[in-house]
Amino acid sequence: MTQLRQIHPLLLLHKLPSMLEQLVLHISQYGYLAIFLLIFLQEVGIPNPIPNELVLLFSGYLSFTGTLNIVVVILCAIGGDLLSSEILFITFYFFGKLIINKKTKWIPISTKKLERLSEKIRISGHSGIFIGRLTPFIKGYVSVLSGLTHYSPSKYGATLLLTSIIWASVYVCAGYLSGPYWCLTERNSPTIKYTLFCL
Across the 199 residues of the chain, what is the mean pLDDT of every consecutive 10-residue run?
40 52 71 92 84 89 91 97 96 87 64 73 82 86 88 94 97 92 56 45
User: What pTM was estimated for this model as a whole?
Assistant: 0.78
Any domain includes 41 = yes
Residue 98 within a domain = yes
Residue 63 lies in a domain: yes
Contact yes or no for 145/114 (Cβ under 8 A): yes
Residue 132 counted as domain residue: yes
Whole-number pLDDT of residue 108: 62
CA 37, distance to chain mean position in Å, is 11
15: Cα separation from own chain's centroid: 19
For residue 3, being part of any structural domain is answered with: no
Angle at alpha carbon of residue 109, lines to 107 and 114, rounded to 5°: 95
Q: Look up the domain containing 31 and give its range.
A: 9-196
Number of domains in the chain: 1
Q: Are 45 and 106 in contact (CB under 8 A)?
A: yes
Q: Answer whether residue 2 is part of any domain.
A: no
Q: Residue 4: inside a domain, yes or no?
A: no
* 56 touches 172 (CB < 8 A): yes
DSSP string, 87-103: HHHHHHHHHHHHHHHHT
Residue 153 domain-assigned (yes or no): yes
